[in-house]
């Protein structure tokens, strides 16, 4: 079968496009070989990840001085961003808002469909077209799986395409959370040979946790990474992830025993139960307490193991762990601001300018 061209993809109906294998349509979200829309973790290669990590670190260094911050804020001062967050969010919203401010973008926001013309019956698709008239970048968090992709599909077929960043799409993906998770792993292991050859344990609601899905996809770019998935039977990783792991020859095990596996981990990635996706309150029947990390369990960890969490947390991560030097989740949260600024800069083609400034 001949490779699909951009024109072939543009001629497709949405249903045809959505049903097309991801690998065959990723180029639709690029421009001149560079990232235009950020929708999937699969869009990141290892060279791109490493360049983003370097750019993020340079931005945070430049921003330490007033002169540096003033310069950063000139870079995209002629651009406008729309934060369209109709699914609850604290960290992702504030992180992106701050990243935009760092680079000088003017920001507008919609936090609920009740404050837009969707309340009057306007379709979500028309709402996106409306936003595109006023913004150069739309960052969205939406409860509907595939909606960020559909928005990019619509706008990339117009005469004025506008960049889209997926800030969380239903149970599907959260690529920029995975990006900040990888940045945190990269910083944490910088004196230990990097992410290669590490064992990453992911704990909790792995079936519905979109951060786990996206992070798994990014870890394929690193050598000899081993994965331990610890979850209740009902919340185990789904088959598509297992197929992905086997295809990419990524060793993994599944378990329901948290304590038994702690000693093997270089990083423990905790997650909360995603009961907002319940159909019939099924989460209430799951004993999640066996998947809570308590302070007394830290004795089973290596001295240099790091503890992560995408937040918000509930009882699965003991607050008494917060002051342990291995706890990285608050640093992880702040890392999100810097790596998202680096992503936006790269999408607008100013990443190299930042790297050159830092080297002066």
**Confidence band (pLDDT; 50, 70, 90) for 274?**
confident
- pLDDT higher than 70, residue 119: no
Q: Active-site residue among 174, 217, 221, 340?
A: 174
Confidence of residue 31 (pLDDT cuts 50, 70, 90): very high
Active-site residue (options: 3, 23, 66, 120): 120
> Is residue 351 very low, low, confident or very high in pLDDT (cuts 50, 70, 90)?
very high
In this predicted structure, what is the pLDDT of residue 311?
A: 87
The percent of residues above 70 in pLDDT, for the chain, comes to 94
pLDDT in tens, 308-335: 999 888 899 999 999 999 999 999 999 9
- pLDDT grade for 358, boundaries at 50, 70 and 90: low
- The pLDDT tens digits for 81-105 are 999 998 777 888 999 999 999 999 9
Decide if 340 is catalytic. no
Among the options 58, 60, 141, 150, which is catalytic? 141
Assess whether 141 carries a catalytic annotation: yes
* Residue 106 is among the residues annotated as catalytic for this protein: no
- Is 199 catalytic? The answer is no
* Three-state secondary structure of the chain: CCCCCHHHHHHCCHHHHHCCCHHHCHHHHEECCEECCECCHHHCCHHHHHHHHHHHHHHHHHCCCHHHHHHHCCCCCCCEEEEEECCCCCHHHHHHHHHHHHCCCEEEEECCHHHCHHHHCCCHHHHHHHHHCCCCEEEEEECCCCHHHHHHHHHCCCCCCCEEEEEEECCCECHHHHHHHHHHHHHHCCCCCCCCCCEEEEECCCCCCHHHHHHHHHHCCCCCCEEEEECCHHHCCCHHHHHHHHHCCCCEEEECCHHHHHCCCCEEEECCCCHHHCCCCHHHHCCHHHHCECHHHHHHCCCCCEEECCCCCCCCECHHHCCCCCECHHHHHHHHHHHHHHHHHHHCCCHHHHHHHHCC
217 is catalytic: no
The whole-chain average pLDDT of the chain stands at 91
Give the pLDDT mean for 157-165.
94
From 51, 91, 292, 313, the catalytic residue: 91
| Catalytic-labelled residue, pool 55, 57, 92, 184 | 92
**Mean pLDDT across the stretch 192-196?**
94
């Amino acid at each position: 079968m001949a490779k699909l061209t951009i024109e072939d993809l543009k001629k497709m109906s949405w249903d045809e496009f959505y049903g097309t294998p991801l690998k065959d349509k990723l180029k639709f979200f690029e421009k001149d070989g560079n990232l235009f829309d950020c929708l999937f973790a699969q869009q990141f290669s290892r060279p791109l990840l490493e360049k983003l990590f370097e750019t993020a670190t340079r931005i945070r260094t430049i921003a330490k001085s007033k002169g540096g911050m003033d310069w950063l804020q000139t870079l995209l001062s002629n651009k406008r961003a729309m934060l369209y967050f109709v699914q609850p969010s604290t960290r992702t919203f504030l992180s992106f808002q701050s990243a935009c401010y760092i680079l000088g973008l003017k920001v507008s926001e919609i936090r609920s469909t009740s404050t837009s013309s969707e309340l009057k019956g306007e379709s979500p698709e028309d709402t996106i077209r409306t936003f595109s008239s006023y913004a150069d970048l739309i960052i969205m968090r939406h409860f509907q799986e595939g909606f960020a992709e559909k928005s990019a599909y619509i706008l990339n077929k117009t005469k004025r395409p506008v960049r889209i960043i997926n800030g969380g799409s239903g149970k599907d993906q959260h690529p920029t959370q995975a990006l900040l998770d990888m940045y945190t792993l990269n910083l944490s292991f910088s004196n230990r040979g990097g992410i290669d050859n590490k064992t990453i344990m992911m704990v909790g609601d792995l079936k519905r946790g979109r951060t786990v899905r996206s992070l798994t996809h990014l870890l394929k770019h690193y050598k000899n990474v081993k994965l331990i998935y610890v979850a209740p039977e009902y919340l185990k990783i789904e088959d598509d992830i297992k197929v992905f792991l086997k295809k990419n020859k990524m060793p993994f095990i599944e378990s329901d025993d948290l304590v038994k596996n702690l000693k093997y981990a270089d990083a423990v990635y905790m997650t909360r139960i995603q009961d907002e996706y319940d159909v019939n309150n099924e989460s209430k029947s799951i004993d999640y307490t066996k998947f809570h990390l308590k302070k007394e369990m830290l004795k089973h960890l290596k001295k240099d193991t790091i503890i992560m969490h995408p937040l918000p947390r509930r009882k699965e991560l003991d607050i008494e762990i917060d002051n342990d030097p291995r706890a990285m989740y608050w640093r992880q949260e702040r890392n999100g601001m810097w790596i998202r600024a680096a992503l936006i800069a790269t999408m607008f083609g100013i990443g190299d300018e930042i790297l050159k400034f830092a080297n002066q």
